[in-house]
Amino acid sequence: MTDSRFLYGANVRANDIRQHYLRYGGTGAPLVLIPGITSPAITWGFVAERLAATHDVYVLDVRGRGLSETGPDLAYDLDSYAADVRGFITALDLPPCVVLGHSMGARIAIRTARRDGAGIAALVLVDPPVSGPGRRAYPARIEWYVDSIREARRGMDAEAMRRYCPTWTEAQRRLRAEWLHTCDELATRVTFEKFHTEDIHQDIPHLTPPTQLVIATRGDVILPEDEAEIRALLPSIATVRVPDAGHMIPWDNLDGFCDAVSGFLSPART
């Protein structure tokens, strides 16, 4: 792609681990993008390309994924993930930045801002799992993640990935098939379990940055009653439902996703 906004990939020591990231754009306010439970940074490249039209985008490989540090000696809980994000922002000495997280990444963004909202210009929370203690379970099954990771470790192609991602394009399935083996099974299992034992709702009333909640219209991660509860916890939150999209919103409706986010991240706000 001759007009790509991709600049480079790099590693940084932050929160006492190696964190790998990809940078797109280089102009505008910085935007730190935190992917979901089994999404290495590179799989969000097509989204970062679009967001980089107005922002300096840094896509993280969350610990246990992609080229960032991994292993059984690391913790895979919200506080550790949030400390990674804060450490990353500090290590790169970023000016006030947008923090955008999808799914697991949105839960991490919530905990990051709850612990310390300084230097976060805005939060974009994309379809965060609302499961937790005493709440309904996250609608996905752990077997979907584990089986696909194990198959990717053995070697799979785009056609084999169709079983797990039937609506994705061939290019999207090929990229996931290439990179999914870098998602640590233990990190995935622990994180999935903690979707049900860690509570993000206690954090939401304490969020101080301007915050947007982006919801999939075809997904069952955030139901209308979940949206209503979040709005009650944080009345200032801006909510938007992206049409014709399941949980992996940009994969289904990239234009709708980018329109929703850019409408919130106007120059006057960021």
Model confidence pLDDT, tens digit, residues 96-132: 999 999 999 999 999 999 999 999 999 999 999 999 9
At residue 266, does pLDDT exceed 90?
no
Per-residue pLDDT at 269: 56
pLDDT averaged over the chain? 96
Mean pLDDT of 11-25: 98
- DSSP 3-state of 134: coil
- The mean per-residue pLDDT over the stretch 185-193 comes to 98
Distance (Å, whole) CA 7 – CA 1: 13
**Residue 1 — very low, low, confident or very high, per pLDDT cuts 50/70/90?**
very low
The pLDDT, as a whole number, for residue 246 is 96
pLDDT bucket at 142, cuts 50 / 70 / 90? very high
Whether the predicted pLDDT of 27 surpasses 90? no
Of 269 and 46, the one with more pLDDT? 46
Residue partners of 214: CB distance under 8 A and separation at least 6: 124, 125, 126, 127, 240, 242, 249, 257, 260, 261
**pLDDT beyond 70 at 255:** yes
Whole-structure pTM value: 0.98
pLDDT at residue 238 greater than cutoff 60: yes
How much is the average pLDDT of 46-70?
98
DSSP string, 176-224: HHHHGGGS-HHHHHHHHHHTTTS-STTTGGG--S-EEEEEESS-SSS-H
Q: Is the pLDDT of residue 270 over 80?
A: no
SS3 of the chain: helix, strand, coil, percent, to 5: 40, 20, 40
Question: Is residue 5 pLDDT above 60, yes or no?
Answer: yes
What pLDDT does residue 2 have? 59
Residue among 119, 153, 143 nearest 30 (CA): 119
> What average pLDDT score do residues 147-174 get?
97
Q: How far is CA 177 from CA 59, 102, 170, 181, in A?
A: 19, 20, 10, 8
Mean pLDDT for 22-40 is: 96
DSSP symbol at 123: E
Residue 219 has pLDDT above 90, yes or no: no
Mean pLDDT of all residues in 180-193 = 98
